Amino acid sequence: MKILKTIASVTLLMAAVSVQAAGWQIDNAQSQLNFVSIKKGDVAEVHHFDRLTGSLSDTGLFTVEIDLESVNTNIEIRDQRMREFLFNVADFPTATLSAQVDPTVVAALAAGQSQIATVDAKLSLHGQKQTLAIEVMISKLSDNTLMLVSAKPLVLNVSAFELVQGVEKLRELAGLPSISHAVPVSFYLTLNAM
């Protein structure tokens, strides 16, 4: 009987290790990437994207693909204008973020534990690439679920991605005196074991 219990324990352990070794997949329904637009000096509005895909491999390679067509500001005409004039989705349909996460940090987490890490991420947006230092909280919700949350908002400047012309076009179409070129971004990403 003791031998059977030992075999069962080893089998379960091997199954758990093989699940973790396969990596993690973003659960779009349980994830969100938000950005804030600031107009007229101090009027802030929160927007998000409806479709995110990506994964974290067993070697720590983390990738997120943002479907820019899925921008959601809760105002359809503004969504349409952002797709056309800001993101230019006809030529640049997605933005991609990739980073290397230390796999030992994830492996060391027990269910219910969290760890803050700073990662150097490469963001490809509108034909431009920038390296950004992003502080994330990595939480292991269960043996099969991870969550990555921005520990601090990330502030992007539209000039770094050649989006100034698009912002100015949006400002002109909306008849606004100003739209800030600094854009705070935050996220929470739920990943399920593959």
pLDDT digits (tens, 9 = 90+) for 85-99: 999 999 999 999 999
Classify the phi-psi angles of 88: left when phi > 0, otherwise alpha if psi is within -120 to 50, otherwise beta: left
Give the tens place of pLDDT for each residue, 41-96.
999 999 999 999 999 999 999 999 999 999 999 999 999 999 999 999 999 999 99
CA proximity to 106, closest of 143, 132, 134, 153: 143
pLDDT at 8 over 90: no
pLDDT at 24 over 80: yes
Pairing outcome for strands 145-150 and 182-193? antiparallel
**pLDDT at res. 90:** 98
pLDDT at 149 over 90: yes
Distance CA 194, CA 189 (A): 15
Distance CA 34, CA 155 (A): 12
- Amino acid in the structure at residue 22: A
Could you report how far apart the first and last alpha carbons of the chain are, in Å? 32
Distance CA 69, CA 39 (A): 22
**pLDDT at res. 22:** 73
Contact 70, 48 (CB under 8 A): no
**Rounded to two decimals, what is the model's pTM?**
0.86
CA proximity to 67, closest of 86, 48, 85, 81: 48
pLDDT at 21 over 70: no
pLDDT at 14 over 50: no
CATH of domain 23-193: 2.40.128.110
How much of the chain, in percent, has pLDDT values that exceed 90?
89
Neighbours of 174 (CB within 10 A): 13
Q: Which residues pair with 179 in a beta bridge?
A: 39
pLDDT at 13 over 60: no
Distance CA 127, CA 161 (A): 7
φ and ψ at 120, to 5 degrees?
A: -90, 115
Average pLDDT across the chain, whole number: 91
CA angle 156, 73, 164 (to 5 degrees): 40
Give the tens place of pLDDT for each residue, 107-119.
999 999 999 999 9
pLDDT at 3 over 60: no
Distance CA 68, CA 164 (A): 17
How much of the chain, in percent, has pLDDT values that exceed 70?
89
